[in-house]
Amino acid sequence: MVSESTAEPEAGLSGTAPQPIEVEPFPLRVSTRDRIPKDFGENFVTYHLEDDPFSYQEAMRSRDALMWAEAIDDEMNSLLQNNTWHLVDLPKGAKVLGCKWVLKKKLHSDGSIARYKARLVAKGYKQQGGIDYFDVYSPVCHLSTIRILLALASIENFIVHQMDVKTAFLNGELDEEIYMAQPEGYVHKDLREKVCKLDKSIYGLKQAPKMWHIKFDQVVKSVGFQSSLSDKCLYYRSMSNQTVIICLYVDDMLILGSDLAAVRDTKSALAKAFDMKDLGPVDTLLGMKVRVHNGRVTLSQAHYIEQILTTWGYKDCRPVETPIDPNVKLSPNEGTSVDQVKYSKIIGSLMYATSCTRPDIAFSVGMLSRFTSSPGKEHWDALDRLMRYLKGTKDHALCYTGYPPTLEGYSDASWCSEVGNSKSTSGFIFTLGGAAVTWKSKRQTCIALSSMEAELFALASAGEEAEWIRNLILDIPLSRLQVNSLSLYCDNQAAVQVVKNVLFNTKRRHVRLRHALLNYLKEQGIITLIDVRSKDNLADPLTKGMPKDRSIKTVGEMGLKAL
């Protein structure tokens, strides 16, 4: 590949001082040698999590310079093979966007280095709306969709494979006229004054995600797939008793199929249209460890939680058995804030675990996040307890066993439970195939005047989720799963009876609207409301702290098992 002749000696790609070279005119030669994936060995682990270089020059001066140089070469090869740009003189009045190299080590779920990754990114923050970009919205699949598909895989005994689209955003076709500076390390020495006129989309552009999704959508539909109305990143095809499902999360792809031949055919079709990396049976997805074995699917973030504990000094803390003390009522801090930045960072890192695999800490994280602007000692004590709970449960994973193959939901609310705040907390959780597939713990946006109203608000939120899940599953032609009316459990008899009463009358508009929604869902056969005892309500831990025995019981019922 081409390198700047003015580069410093320590920036050489060979690890030694580079000699001056003659640079050939564009177009550049593209390497045709086969790229063989490197195996760094089982014991080759990253020495720091934060040691990724911030610039091209820093990478070339690092002890991993050869690895970074090869990663950068790979990225440049992809850009040139894809005809991403051509060099031109900058037109009068046009502006040029800068670009930079983003360099990251990709890790296995156990923390070992999988590969060195380089990405050329345009400085799209300098783009102006209406001039060099217009509509930029691009859908991303819901995390709930991924969990639902894994639950369905356990029920239907689906094969689950994974693929990665190399340089996905480069596949998008640009409608706008955009100019970018030549990338650092690859500036043509005889054409330094020229700029790159982008013919294809590139990472960093505001419209890049949208253009990539449009391209992918066109390709998969051309080979017989249909998109779900409930999640635009979910595609399915059923023919000759073969079902194949594709779930796209930006450039990471899950492919589920009823048999291996159908999965392989889908991979071949995608590989003809895009430069793909076949990762085989699913292993790590969005930082989550996925294991599929004998109809059992587990979803874990043990390594991620271990990282959090180590990073913030809780690696050797003493475990506790509950995430929050039910007897402690937190209130806003009226004194001096205690280490606010650190507190906020810990909460932020915990939110991802809550969203992916840990419904058992959803209420605790949600409650503690309300005090990030000014945490006090009592808030730190509660956060310390939560971290100690994670220490003892870091190996817990969502385990989908395929039984029961029915979708059930639980709803609950805690009325006026916060000190100094009149708003209640809602919670719901839905299970399928033996474990939770979606959940939420959230403070209500309006004030409920009674526990019945608070429960009604929670039921309305759960009802919306129930309708979405039901529609998502009905989109996919499945043989073993029958979705009729979804059972939605609530432990407030008054709320259940109010929903069943079509003539319910209230002066409050927001209550009336929620009642109308629930009544509609009930009459359409989408949900069936069932009264349940509080001790059997699986959504209870999403609205309040639980005693030890109750907490341990509900964690197991959520499908969280120690691996």
What residues make up the domain containing 377? 301-393
Please state whether the peptide bond connecting residue 27 to the residue before it is cis, i.e. omega within 30 degrees of 0. yes
Distance CA 244, CA 261 (A): 10
Q: Which one of 393, 415, 447 terminates a domain?
A: 393
Q: Is residue 434 assigned to a domain?
A: yes
Q: Is residue 201 assigned to a domain?
A: yes
Q: Is residue 296 assigned to a domain?
A: no
Local structure of 353: helix, strand or coil: helix
Q: Is residue 563 assigned to a domain?
A: no
pLDDT at 109: 63
Q: Is residue 471 assigned to a domain?
A: yes
Verify that 25 and 101 share a domain, yes or no: yes
Verify that 61 and 186 share a domain, yes or no: yes
Q: Which one of 228, 260, 285 terminates a domain?
A: 285
Nearest to 99 by CA among 181, 11, 164: 181
Instruction: Answer yes or no: are the C-beta atoms of 147 and 355 closer than 8 Å.
Output: no
- Rg (C-alpha) for the chain, rounded Å, is 27
Residues 6+ apart with CB under 8 A from 127: 97, 133, 178, 205, 206
Instruction: Answer yes or no: are the C-beta atoms of 554 and 359 closer than 8 Å.
Output: no
Q: Which one of 231, 258, 285 terminates a domain?
A: 285
Instruction: Answer yes or no: are the C-beta atoms of 279 and 163 closer than 8 Å.
Output: yes
- CA–chain centroid gap for 478, Å, is 25
Domain count for the chain: 3
Verify that 377 and 409 share a domain, yes or no: no
CA angle 234, 484, 161 (to 5 degrees): 30
Cα distances (Å, whole numbers) of residue 362 to 339, 353, 389, 443, 459: 23, 9, 13, 12, 18
Verify that 358 and 481 share a domain, yes or no: no
Q: Is residue 293 assigned to a domain?
A: no
Q: Is residue 551 assigned to a domain?
A: yes
Considering 25-29, 167-171, 522-526, the range whose residues carry the highest mean pLDDT is: 522-526
Distance CA 334, CA 348 (A): 23
The percentage of residues in the chain with a pLDDT greater than 90, rounded to a whole number, is 68
Residue 422 maps to which CATH number? 3.30.420.10
Whether 483 shows a pLDDT value over 90: the answer reads no
Residue 85, both tokens: 């740009």
Verify that 66 and 143 share a domain, yes or no: yes
Verify that 89 and 13 share a domain, yes or no: yes
Verify that 424 and 527 share a domain, yes or no: yes
Q: Is residue 369 assigned to a domain?
A: yes
Verify that 75 and 130 share a domain, yes or no: yes
Per residue in 502-561, pLDDT tens? 888 787 888 999 999 999 999 999 999 999 999 999 999 999 999 999 999 999 999 999
Instruction: Answer yes or no: are the C-beta atoms of 322 and 551 closer than 8 Å.
Output: yes
Verify that 41 and 161 share a domain, yes or no: yes
Verify that 103 and 245 share a domain, yes or no: yes
pLDDT at 306: 95
Instruction: Answer yes or no: are the C-beta atoms of 498 and 373 closer than 8 Å.
Output: no
Residue 165, both tokens: 């689209």
Per residue in 226-260, pLDDT tens? 999 999 999 999 887 889 999 999 999 999 999 99
Verify that 269 and 133 share a domain, yes or no: yes
Verify that 146 and 232 share a domain, yes or no: yes
Decide the pairing of beta strands 527-531 and 486-490.
parallel
Per residue in 351-404, pLDDT tens? 999 999 999 999 999 999 999 999 999 999 999 999 999 999 999 999 999 999
